[in-house]
Structures are given as structure tokens and as C-alpha cells.
């Protein structure tokens, strides 16, 4: 008879979360904020990349999945699970790499900036926003977090952004295109970036047409479109 409690060796991670996992340092204690299913920390533990994980969520429902999956993949002694808003209480576990994925950029910004621990030396933030990229980068730059690396990843029909940040205390400002597309993505200009920026530009041009026809001021949108066109010319 099939054993329903049979454990699988490793969760099948989506390309989006696999991309985030690439930036975790060997031997790190990781925190996964808004963990839901906890696939990312379980994957990192099973792969031998992370030594310990903290999985948190603001809601009890997702933490039920977290506990089930941690049992199923047989890593309960390596994962601390607790319910909290953002990073409240995280300092108790001293994580090295903090992952915040699958949330809006403004929520991620609030979670990061409200937590003093994120400003500790050696702490790295791996952020995967679903929206509000400009608000996230602007807020991080103003608050003294610097963007060390960025990447783009295709997952199904979508292209997702990943940011790797650390607190330096030095404030940064970005141009409108940098806020949206990422200064490091623009610097690297890889193939996926060209596709991503071109899709964004086409949408922006349609928006300029319809807003312009309706009599709205589109001067900022026009400037942004021009900046993106100039970036694409250098790719
Ligand atoms: C869309 S899921 C993303 C799950 C996983 N991180 C991923 O990327 O696949 C968002 C999760 O964040 C949790 N969440 C929302 N606001 C939160 C907050 N302020 N603090 C912690 N978790 C939060 C939700 O309960 C939900 O489980």
C-alpha cells in the first residue's frame, strides 16, 4: 500500500523562486518573509545551501501549509516558523539573507525600512516585487539601501524582477527608467532585459496615445519613453 506520508527529496521550485535562490550565500541562515508554502527555504535547506531557515507569514492559513511542507520534506529541526507582520521579531534568529518575494513593492519597502535589523552589517536582502518597482527603488535609495545586483527571470508568460540590496547608509537617486527597469539591469543589458524594456516601451507608447488623445498631460511619460528608447539603442 502506498505510504501517504512518503516524503519527497526536494520541492520543485518555480523559475521565479529559483532565481531568488541563486543569490543566497552558502551556509547562510535565511529568513523567508511571507513564506506561504515555504518551498524556497525548504529547497535551500535540501540543496545544502542554507544551514537554517526562519519562515514567517502574517496569516495563519499560509503557516498551516508551511508546517505541513516542512514536515513533508523532513526538515522540521532546521526551520523556525512563526506568525508576524513583516520582520517583527526577526533579530532573535540573526538571519544573514532575508528573502521577501511575491509581494507588492510598497509592502516590501515598508517591511524592510521598518525593521532596524535590515540595516545590520552583513545582512543581505533578496527582494522579488510583483509591482510598484519605482516606489520600491526610490524608497530604498532614499533610506540608504544600495542595490548590489539585479536580475530578470522568465516564468510562464511573465518576466519578474529580483533585487539584491544591502544597507550602506548612502542615499541614492535614480532616473525614471532606472526606477522602473533597474539600474543594474540597465547596466547589464542582457537579452531578457531588451525584451522586458521593449514590452514596457510598447505599453507606455499606447498609454501616451490614449492619454494624449483624451487631453491629459503626457510630458513625463514622453520623457520616460525617450529615456527607454535611448537605452535600447545602446543594447
Ligand atoms: C503571494 S504570497 C507569496 C508567497 C511566496 N513568498 C512566493 O513568492 O511564492 C504572499 C504572502 O505574503 C504574506 N504576507 C502579506 N503581507 C505580509 C506581511 N505584512 N508580513 C508577512 N507576510 C505577509 C501573505 O499572507 C502570503 O502568504
**pLDDT digit string, tens, across residues 46-81:** 999 999 999 999 999 999 999 999 999 999 999 999
Ligand 1 atom nearest 107 alpha carbon: 19
Separation of alpha carbons 219 and 209, rounded Å: 12
Q: What is the pLDDT of residue 4?
A: 52
- Indicate the angle between helix axes 191-213 and 219-233, nearest 10 degrees: 150
**Is 89 part of a structural domain of the chain?**
yes
| Among 130, 125, 133, residue whose Cα is nearest residue 185 | 133
Ligand 1 centroid, distance to 33 Cα (angstroms): 7
Residues 87 and 55 in one domain: yes
Separation of alpha carbons 30 and 47, rounded Å: 13
Q: What is the pLDDT of residue 5?
A: 55
Q: Give me 193's grid cell.
A: 532585459
Ligand 1 centroid, distance to 123 Cα (angstroms): 21
Which range of residues forms the domain containing residue 117? 15-174
Ligand 1 centroid, distance to 6 Cα (angstroms): 28
Residues 199 and 98 in one domain: no
- Write down the mean pLDDT value for the chain: 95
Ligand 1 centroid, distance to 35 Cα (angstroms): 6
**Is 85 part of a structural domain of the chain?**
yes
Q: What is the pLDDT of residue 180?
A: 98
Is the CB of residue 36 below 6 angstroms from any atom belonging to ligand 1? Answer: yes
Is the CB of residue 62 below 6 angstroms from any atom belonging to ligand 1? Answer: yes
Ligand 1 centroid, distance to 103 Cα (angstroms): 6
CA count, 13 A, side-chain hemisphere, 3: 5
Q: What is the pLDDT of residue 1?
A: 44
Q: What is the pLDDT of residue 3?
A: 47
Ligand 1 atom nearest 86 alpha carbon: 20
Residues 117 and 205 in one domain: no
Residues 59 and 142 in one domain: yes
Count: domains in the chain:
2
Residues 124 and 209 in one domain: no
Q: What is the pLDDT of residue 135?
A: 98
Ligand 1 centroid, distance to 47 Cα (angstroms): 23
Pocket test for ligand 1, best of 103, 111, 130 (most atoms within 8 A of CB): 103
Q: What is the pLDDT of residue 7?
A: 60
| Among 172, 151, 163, residue whose Cα is nearest residue 99 | 163
Is the CB of residue 180 below 6 angstroms from any atom belonging to ligand 1? Answer: no
**Is 78 part of a structural domain of the chain?**
yes
Ligand 1 atom nearest 128 alpha carbon: 8
Question: Over the range 24-41, which residues count as b (16 or more CB within 10 Å of their CB) and which as e?
Answer: beeebbbbbbbbbbbbbb
For residue 216, the tally of other CB atoms under 10 A from its CB is 12
Which residue minimizes the CA distance to atom 8 of ligand 1? 102
Q: Which residues contact 91 (CB under 8 A, 6 or more apart)?
A: 116, 117
Instruction: Print pLDDT tens along the chain (235 aa).
Output: 444 556 668 999 999 999 999 999 999 999 999 999 999 999 999 999 999 999 999 999 999 999 999 999 999 999 999 999 999 999 999 999 999 999 999 999 999 999 999 999 999 999 999 999 999 999 999 999 999 999 999 999 999 999 999 999 999 999 999 999 999 999 999 999 999 999 999 999 999 999 989 999 999 999 999 999 999 999 9
Pocket test for ligand 1, best of 31, 54, 57, 83 (most atoms within 8 A of CB): 57
The length of the chain in residues reads 235
Residues 99 and 202 in one domain: no
Is the full-model pTM beyond 0.85? yes
Amino acid at each position: 500500500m502506498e505510504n501517504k506520508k512518503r516524503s519527497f527529496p526536494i520541492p520543485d521550485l518555480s523559475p521565479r523562486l529559483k532565481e531568488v535562490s541563486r543569490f543566497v550565500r552558502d551556509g547562510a541562515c535565511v529568513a523567508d518573509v511571507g513564506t506561504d508554502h515555504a518551498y524556497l527555504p525548504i529547497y535551500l535547506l535540501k540543496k545544502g545551501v542554507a544551514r537554517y531557515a526562519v519562515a514567517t507569514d502574517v496569516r495563519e492559513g499560509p503557516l498551516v501549509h508551511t508546517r505541513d511542507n516542512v514536515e513533508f520534506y523532513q526538515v522540521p529541526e532546521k526551520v523556525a516558523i512563526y506568525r508576524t507582520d513583516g520582520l517583527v521579531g526577526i533579530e532573535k534568529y540573526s538571519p544573514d539573507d532575508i528573502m521577501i518575494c511575491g509581494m507588492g513593492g510598497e509592502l516590501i519597502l515598508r517591511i524592510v525600512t521598518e525593521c532596524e535589523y535590515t540595516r545590520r552589517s552583513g545582512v543581505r536582502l533578496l527582494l522579488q516585487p510583483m509591482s510598484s518597482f519605482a516606489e520600491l527603488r526610490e524608497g530604498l535609495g532614499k533610506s540608504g539601501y544600495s542595490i548590489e545586483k539585479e536580475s530578470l527571470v522568465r516564468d510562464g508568460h511573465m518576466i519578474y524582477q529580483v533585487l539584491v540590496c544591502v544597507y550602506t547608509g548612502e542615499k541614492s537617486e535614480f532616473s525614471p527608467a532606472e526606477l522602473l527597469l533597474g539600474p543594474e539591469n540597465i547596466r547589464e543589458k542582457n537579452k531578457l532585459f531588451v525584451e522586458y524594456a521593449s514590452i514596457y516601451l510598447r505599453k507606455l507608447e499606447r498609454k501616451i496615445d490614449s492619454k494624449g488623445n483624451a487631453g491629459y498631460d503626457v510630458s513625463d511619460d514622453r520623457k520616460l519613453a525617450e529615456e527607454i528608447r535611448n537605452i535600447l539603442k545602446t543594447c
